[in-house]
Structure 1
């Protein structure tokens, strides 16, 4: 086994992978300058040192790794996936250093958990007193959502000095969804278009929040959390701290918009409305949101004074949970069981593929349900030949198999992680939803880790496992699993079981 492991590791294009990590660390060092500006603005001079030390370490490591001489420029799917997995782990570790060096989050495990939660746009927090954190650290904490929303390496690819046709493997590993396609012929241009759309929507939301009277600092942090569908709030009461219907409506609308596949916005700009109208996933997404809002509004009506108030809280929370943003305007832990179960279901479903949201994705749910329907039909009509159709096109067998395998892997990971977290001996609701909310990149769960609670009460082991769940959820399992288990081929002495060589 050691021989097989070494053989497969040696086949990887490690210099290209290390180059990728180097470029990501250089980008991170540049992005860390923004919280430095915030520290200067709010006269938090004592925090300049933690940020500047982190910037220096990132820049030095990044320059060293990015300048390694590459013998083979080409790389393949496994190289791309391992590069993505390693980049996210490295960026999360280096990104947590300002929290650790400042001493405001003393434990390194807690710093790592908080930063992973930021970059993966989960929004789960170990902080019990959010307002006590300095402005610059609050800004960096929220800004990690915006960086991770579209993808760390998608950002790097937009400005990467070295990329070729094989960089599609990186896009495939990092952009959520069962399939990913280029918007235009050049991948670099595709990455730039995606970020242009992402920035444009972010700026529009920022302007709406400012127009309603929200302070600039608050508007920026809330925009970062909404755009990345992350949900880190700067107040313990989350968005409910503002008590403003206007802010809630604006954030609800933009959470919903950021949960839509970004490819559809590209078609919208081109005024090509046919793909948008034909998009089955979008119709399912709208339908699930609408039905959930109606059901919860009716269910929680006895708790509130009017139908309008009930609709206000239910619509915000439904959109927040299905897009895996995790903002809150009410303590849904106190809602009736039916409402909590609907929200739990939405945690699993998640937003659309190709959005900044997490979860299983609506398109995967569609394919799983259609696969079940097809299997039932075959029991009635064994000789009937029928394919799974999405958007009027046949879904190929490989994609269906990948979706079913992903769904199975998701369930196995939940079971395994739940057993480990159960060692902390918390109640069933807290234990199960903590794992679900981290793997789905949602943020708040139910019970002790609900919208008014935190993850501070979990042990160090549980926090590491939950951090891994967040990474697995954001990168959709395979990049991290391939990094953890590089033994991808059986020995050549067993040719029948040997994997097909990648192109």
Structure 2
């Protein structure tokens, strides 16, 4: 285990977090808010904690998958703990568990909140909440990969551990170049959305915060009604970009590289868009009587479907009041999630496709025992290791889900609230149903339940394995 390299990377995480906090300091300066001092104190603490680890680069810069998973898990925990300090120091969220819940929800792009009045926060803290979505959307370690010189398979070990989806492929021969391309696409999409929102006369601060939340598919609203008070144009722009951020970024790379045919061959993207289209149509038909016209219902259906399947969590209406069929569809979309290689959460469409094809293959072989069939996606056979990891992932996923629902049930809330709260946190969505619906929040839960859901948010964002690995005694025995 390359302990020195792990410490070096975690140290750089703290340095970059300190740099990121300069932006909310500027916001505090613009709006003349005393809460900006909480960020200055946190910046000092980040530099003091991270500085000693990065002062001298380690001689051995190579590490492999196990170190990569440990590094990613520790980095996200450290990032979240220090990121919560401004809320505690400023006094706006004095309970450390609440502050950690809010911060983890931000970095993991979940968007679940314990705040009952978001608009009561100073602008610098509102900005930090939304900006944490943008940082966590693509992954802070992917950003660091573009800057840190590393060797051998080290880049890929980190990228595999942090990137969402069953597998990670290099867009170009060098992993560092791949990370740069991903961030370039991410930044360009964010800038385009900001411009389009400004054209719709959204205030600059609102446009920045909304774009950060959309890009990271996080969904922290800066208003108590989320996106409901904005114009249909602004809601439509947000709908489109939520869907765009839910597509595998390699599709955009192929389009930019002049390979549109290869991009259009993405089976996952076609299923993703197809599921969105069918869900919008069915829900719009089901809720048409709740709104003045079918067009208005269609607009809200499109926004909520895009928001839930991409695990963004914005809302334009209280879908908790919709009939059972639309609510059931939204609940299923929570589990489906977006595409692998996107900023969205959930199980991922690619995993579901592969699982469905695996079931089909097994059924066929029961009828034809002598046949030899492979699971194929996008014209390529899926390797056995990928199939095995998906099967293990699904088993772990439902085990964590079941135990989480059991653990938070001690608070005495109803089953739908508990079930959807775990679905919303483990899938990094934000709002659930009943007492955690789009007009509610997670403040009703005890500190114990919030800690369980903090674990769920981190586990969901990191695809389970990195977080579970650091909880495995064997990992530390060999450390």
The TM-score, its normalising length taken from structure 2, stands at 0.98
Specify the alignment match of 2:220 in structure 1.
232
| Correspondence 1:268-417 to 2 at 5 A | 268-417=255-404
Distance 2:391 2:354 in 1: 9
Residues 25 and 306 of structure 1: is their aligned pair in 2 closer, same or farther, counting only changes over 3 Å?
A: same
Q: Distance in 2 between matches of 1:201 and 1:489?
A: 41
1:245 corresponds to: 232
Unpaired runs of at least 5, structure 1: 1-11, 492-503
Residue 63 (structure 2) aligned to one of 61, 75, 79: 75
Residues 489/228 of structure 1: CA separation in 2 closer, same or farther (3 Å cut): closer
Cα deviation, residue 488, structure 1: 5.4
Alpha-carbon distance in 2 for matches of 1:157, 1:320: 29
Tell me the equivalent position of 1:192: 180
Match of 1:117 in 2: 105
1:181 Cα shift?
1.2
Give the match for residue 18 of structure 1: 7
Q: Are 2:149 and 1:176 equivalent residues in the alignment?
A: no
Cα deviation, 1:267-319, whole Å, max 9, x if unaligned, reads 11111112211110011001100110011011111211211011011000000
- Tell whether the 8 Å contact from 2:265 to 2:378 is kept in structure 1 after alignment: yes
Deviation at 1:337, TM superposition (A): 0.6
Residue number in structure 1 paired with 2:433: 446
Segments of 5+ residues of structure 2 without an aligned counterpart are: none
Q: 1: CA distance between counterparts of 2:262 and 2:167?
A: 16
Given candidates 203, 214, 220, the residue that maps to 2:202 is 214
Instruction: Report deviation, 1:70.
Output: 2.6
Note if contact 2:354-2:375 (Cα within 8 Å) is conserved in structure 1.
yes
Equivalent positions of 1:81-100 (< 5 A) are 81-100=69-88
Secondary structure of the corresponding residue to residue 61 of structure 2: coil
Higher mean C-alpha deviation, range 254-263 or range 63-72: 63-72
Instruction: Return the alpha-carbon distance in structure 2 between the equivalents of residues 208 and 27 of structure 1.
Output: 29
**Does the Cα contact within 8 Å between 1:122 and 1:438 map onto a contact in 2?**
yes
Structure 1 stretches of at least 4 aligned residues deviating more than 6 Å after TM superposition: none
Q: CA deviation at 1:47?
A: 1.4
2:191 equivalent to 1:203 = yes
Aligned pair count reads: 478
CA distance, structure 2, for counterparts of residue 208 and residue 73 of structure 1:
43
**In structure 1, the residue corresponding to 2:338 is in which secondary structure?**
coil
Provide the alpha-carbon RMSD of the alignment.
1.3
Specify the alignment match of 1:501 in structure 2. Answer: none
- For residues 322 and 477 of structure 2, the distance between their equivalents in structure 1, rounded to whole angstroms, comes to 52
| Aligned mate of 2:474, from 487, 490, 494 | 487
Shift of 1:217: 0.2
Distance between the aligned counterparts of 2:59 and 2:200, measured in 1?
55
Work out the CA distance in 2 between the residues paired with 1:444 and 1:275: 36
Q: 1:163 to 1:34 in 2, by over 3 A?
A: farther
Residue 227 of structure 1: how far off its partner (Å): 0.3
Q: Distance in 2 between matches of 1:351 and 1:106?
A: 35
Conserved 8 A contact 1:157-1:163: no
Alignment of 1:49-64 (within 5 A): 49-64=37-52
**In structure 2, which of residues 140, 145, 162 is the aligned counterpart of residue 157 of structure 1?**
145
d(CA) in 1 for partners of 2:473 and 2:52?
25
Task: Determine helix, strand or coil for the equivalent of 2:146.
Answer: helix
How far does residue 49 in structure 1 lie from its aligned partner after superposition?
1.7
CA distance in 2, matches of 1:395, 1:96: 41
Gap change, CA 1:382 and 1:167, over 3 Å in 2: same
Q: Quote the residue 1:31 is aligned against.
A: 20
Q: Partner residue of 1:499?
A: none
1:42 is matched with which residue: 22, 28, 31?
Answer: 31
Normalised TM-score (structure 1): 0.93
| Structure 1: distance between partners of 2:12 and 2:372 | 49
Q: Is the CA contact (8 Å cut-off) linking 1:262 and 1:354 kept in structure 2?
A: yes
Which moves more between the two structures, 413-422 or 185-194?
Answer: 185-194
> SS of the counterpart of 2:109?
coil
Measure the CA separation in 1 of the matches of 2:386 and 2:164.
14
Please name the residue that 1:258 is paired with. 245
Contact 1:149 1:229 in 2 (8 A): yes
Instruction: Provide the rounded CA distance (Å) in 1 between the counterparts of 2:361 and 2:57.
Output: 52
| SS of equivalent to 1:238 | coil
Q: Give the secondary-structure state (helix, strand or coil) at the position aligned to 2:353.
A: helix
Corresponding residue of 1:463: 450
- Of residues 66, 71, 96, the one that matches 2:54 is 66
Matched, 1:126 2:114: yes
Q: CA deviation at 1:69?
A: 5.6
Kept in 2: contact 1:299–1:338 (CA 8 A): yes
In the other structure, the counterpart of 1:474 is 461
> In structure 2, do the counterparts of structure 1 residues 489 and 207 end up closer, same or farther at CA, with 3 Å as the change threshold?
closer
Task: Identify the range of structure 1 (480-489 vs 281-290) with the bigger mean alpha-carbon deviation.
Answer: 480-489
